[in-house]
């Protein structure tokens, strides 16, 4: 999840892609708010395919990283690349973990998270410190009970794989000819199909636990979208498509919100495979081919782009608390609407304040000092 404006001297700013990331991130929050009411049944989940936003983020990252860095390796070292990536991504990872630690005991639920009451402050501090490094935690440090590699802030698993993608890109992928990248993307597409169509659940859900099966899911979800984004960045030719932002917005909301497909798992798996393999790269291409016109539209798109990464990485600790509140008080979906709106807009406000008061100033200082 990277903004396309890292190098602002000569590189074009893809405002639509930034805004789409923000729209997808907000849909993720809504998806997570509804999740507690599904009873663990994916078919009943509202904003049913909201989890595919992660796969869309990987595609966006592949495009933006390829676009921003592919032509700069003659004047950029590995050390410089990794410094830039850490400065861009890691401050908000730390913020997300700290918010998760603060919210941890408030998310206690005798039904949902019963083991929280037995976790000592010292163990919480240790898990927080490790979490701030983004090193995945084994089950010995699983202090919540959901099997997450980052139990204070579950969605951080996707940033763990984002870092892996950055490492592979820096060491190998940027050196490869486009034809080889295309071949690797085709191979990775078969892993996507194998996971979604022939997997046990008929979807790509997973990747957040540190075990063999979940690690396979994580790499399967990462490989194709990221490679496809890189390929699109290589073969993309500047064009102009009218109303691209409107069409992209409609498409991303539609693909993430559509109910679960069919009565058999493989039917939904085919849908997700088609969306990941064809629709997401097309949306990235479409978004890169348009412009946002008008001051109001530009301000809205800029705001969406600004909060996209912060709101994604800080919202889930509030979801833990919300879920416990709903379960413990036996609230219906209608009864939970005020609390849900508080979480939604509170996450957006927290993300914006974190960005302005913490993330941007810290990144400027780190860039000036280390890059």
Under 8 Å CB-to-CB from 234, ≥6 apart: which residues? 66, 70, 178, 181
Residue 215 vs residues 33, 218, 275: alpha-carbon distances, Å? 26, 5, 22
The tens place of each residue's pLDDT in the chain, 371 residues long, gives 544 443 444 678 899 999 999 999 999 999 999 999 998 888 899 999 999 999 999 999 999 999 999 999 999 999 999 999 999 999 999 999 999 999 999 999 999 999 999 999 999 999 999 999 999 999 889 899 999 999 999 999 999 999 999 999 999 999 999 999 999 999 999 999 999 999 999 999 999 999 999 999 999 999 999 999 999 999 998 889 999 999 999 999 999 999 999 999 999 999 999 999 999 999 999 999 999 988 999 999 999 999 999 999 999 999 999 999 999 999 999 999 999 999 999 999 999 999 999 999 999 999 999 98
Sign of the alpha-carbon dihedral angle for 265, 267, 271, 273:
positive
What pLDDT was estimated at residue 7? 40
Sign of the alpha-carbon dihedral angle for 121, 123, 126, 128:
negative
What pLDDT was estimated at residue 167? 98
What pLDDT was estimated at residue 10? 62
- Span between the terminal Cα atoms of the chain, in Å: 21
Helix axes 178-196, 265-274, angle to 10 degrees: 160
What pLDDT was estimated at residue 55? 98
Count other Cβ atoms within 10 Å, centred on residue 367: 13
d(CA 164, CA 185): 16
What pLDDT was estimated at residue 6? 39
Q: Which residue has the tokens 């501090």?
A: 125
What pLDDT was estimated at residue 78? 97
d(CA 336, CA 52): 25
């Amino acid at each position: 999840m990277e903004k396309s404006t890292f190098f602002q001297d000569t590189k074009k700013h893809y405002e639509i892609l930034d805004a789409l990331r923000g729209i997808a991130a907000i849909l993720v929050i809504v998806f997570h708010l509804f999740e507690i009411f599904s009873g663990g049944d994916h078919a009943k989940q509202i904003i049913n395919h909201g989890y595919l936003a992660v796969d869309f983020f990987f595609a966006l990252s592949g495009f933006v990283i390829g676009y921003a860095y592919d032509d700069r390796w003659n004047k950029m070292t590995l050390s410089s690349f990794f410094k830039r990536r850490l400065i861009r991504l890691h401050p908000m990872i730390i913020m997300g973990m700290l918010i998760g630690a603060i919210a941890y005991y408030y998310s206690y639920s005798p039904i949902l998270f019963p083991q929280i009451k037995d976790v000592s402050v010292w163990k919480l501090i240790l898990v927080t410190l490790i979490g701030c490094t983004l090193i995945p935690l084994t089950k010995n440090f699983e202090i919540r009970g959901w099997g997450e590699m980052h139990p204070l802030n579950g969605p951080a698993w996707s940033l763990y794989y984002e870092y892996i993608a950055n490492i592979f890109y820096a060491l190998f992928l940027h050196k490869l000819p486009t034809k080889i990248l295309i071949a690797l993307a085709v191979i990775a597409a078969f892993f996507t199909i194998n996971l979604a169509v022939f997997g046990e659940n008929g979807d790509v859900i997973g990747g957040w636990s540190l075990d063999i099966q979940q690690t396979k899911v994580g790499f399967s979800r990462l490989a194709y979208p990221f490679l496809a984004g890189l390929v699109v960045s290589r073969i993309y030719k500047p064009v102009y498509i009218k109303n691209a932002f409107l069409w992209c917005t409609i498409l991303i909301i539609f693909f993430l919100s559509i109910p679960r497909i069919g009565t058999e798992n493989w039917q939904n798996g085919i849908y997700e495979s088609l969306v990941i393999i064809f629709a997401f790269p097309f949306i990235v291409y479409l978004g890169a081919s348009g412009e946002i016109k008008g001051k109001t539209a530009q301000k809205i798109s800029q705001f969406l782009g600004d909060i996209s990464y912060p709101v994604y990485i800080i919202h889930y600790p509030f979801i833990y608390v919300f879920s416990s509140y709903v379960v413990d008080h036996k609230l219906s979906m209608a009864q939970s609407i005020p609390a849900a709106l508080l979480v939604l807009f509170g996450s957006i406000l927290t993300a914006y304040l974190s960005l302005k008061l913490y993330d941007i100033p810290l990144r400027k200082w780190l860039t000036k000092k280390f890059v």
